[in-house]
Amino acid sequence: MSQDPWLQNYDATCRLAQEIAENIHERNRQQRTGGNPAKINMTLRASLQKLKQTVSQLKEGLLRASSSRQLMQSEADRRQNLIDDLLTREKHLNATFKGDVTEPEPSRSTLMAGGAGASGGAAGNPWLVNESDETRGLTFGEIKQQQQRIVEAQDAGLDALAAVISRQKIMGQEIGNELEEQNGMLVVIVLLLIAIVVIAVWPV
């Protein structure tokens, strides 16, 4: 099954947020080493504006889907939580870019290097400082694959639920048709009984 366009946009927004975090990390490194971060600052401003727009688009898309009842309430709530997390990321990224907060210490230096040693100078992922047991020790690519598997499993569960609901609807329609037929037969029987009683008591 093809992935939901909203989820595709969400994944792209997460990648954008990750890219911004890495660029802020690089900008700060350049500042510490006496480099000129002017170019990367321009890129960051444009990326932060794009992040704001894409998060807003996700909110609008979820609102439309919820209003038209295209989503189950549990899925709408799950997606709202994803948006809330993105809003928190966006706020933190803006604050870090402006220097209002400092970068968190990276949890591991090899996240984006796919297992390369710390001497390779790979940037850490500031979003995984308090990472869970499920993601600890995984590369960024492996984490994304894990998230994709979770989404696919959820999609499969929703498909199965939709199939069950569809079968129940069909069964309900069949039961309704049978009841209508039985009611029709019952009316005929009652009319026949009435006719028999009338004939029996009618004077000859």
pLDDT (average), residues 117-139: 48
pLDDT at 134: 61
Average pLDDT of 5-31?
92
Average pLDDT over residues 21-35: 89
Mean pLDDT, rounded, for 173-189: 75
pLDDT value for 14: 95
* Average pLDDT of span 160-189: 74
Q: How far apart are CA 144 and CA 150, in angstroms?
A: 10
203 pLDDT exceeds 80? Answer: no
> Residue 19: pLDDT band by 50, 70, 90 thresholds?
very high
What pLDDT score was predicted for residue 135? 58
Structure confidence at residue 194 (pLDDT): 82
Residue whose C-alpha is closest to residue 98's, from 60, 58, 165, 48: 48
Report the SS3 class of residue 149. Answer: helix
Alpha helix ranges (H) inside 68-129: 73-98
Amino acid identity, position 97? F
| pLDDT at site 118 | 36
Domains and CATH numbers, the chain: 1-102 (1.20.58)
Q: Which of 31-35, 85-89, 127-131 has the lowest mean pLDDT?
A: 127-131
